[in-house]
Amino acid sequence: MLLNNGLLGGVVFANMQTYSDYPNTNQFGKLLPGGGVGLRIKINKHSNLNLAVDYGFGIGGSQGLFLNLGEVF
């Protein structure tokens, strides 16, 4: 929570994933890290409706801006 009234909040996130070349093989490849930061703006206190604005990045220059109305988790 960035403000005492709950209007603004922030997040920091990280993840790690891998994948296989299914159906050719069931072996997993290397681990791929990612992460990002985000801002939460409370739209409605009674229903806990948030506007989420997140910026994520990964290896190889991958990046993206993500918008969500609601809650992810």
Q: How confident is the model at residue 73 (pLDDT cuts 50, 70, 90)?
A: low
* Residue whose C-alpha is closest to residue 17's, from 37, 4, 34: 34
Q: pLDDT at residue 67 above 70?
A: yes
Q: pTM for the whole thing?
A: 0.75
Q: Is the pLDDT of residue 27 over 80?
A: yes
Contact between 56 and 67 under an 8 Å Cβ cutoff? The reply is: no
Q: Count how many Cα atoms sit within 13 Å of the Cα of residue 20 in the half-sphere of its side chain.
A: 7
pLDDT reported for residue 42 = 93
Whether the bond between 23 and the residue before it is cis, its omega within 30 degrees of 0, is yes
Confidence class of residue 33 from pLDDT cuts 50, 70 and 90?
A: very high
Q: Do the beta carbons of residue 50 and residue 38 sit within 8 Å?
A: no
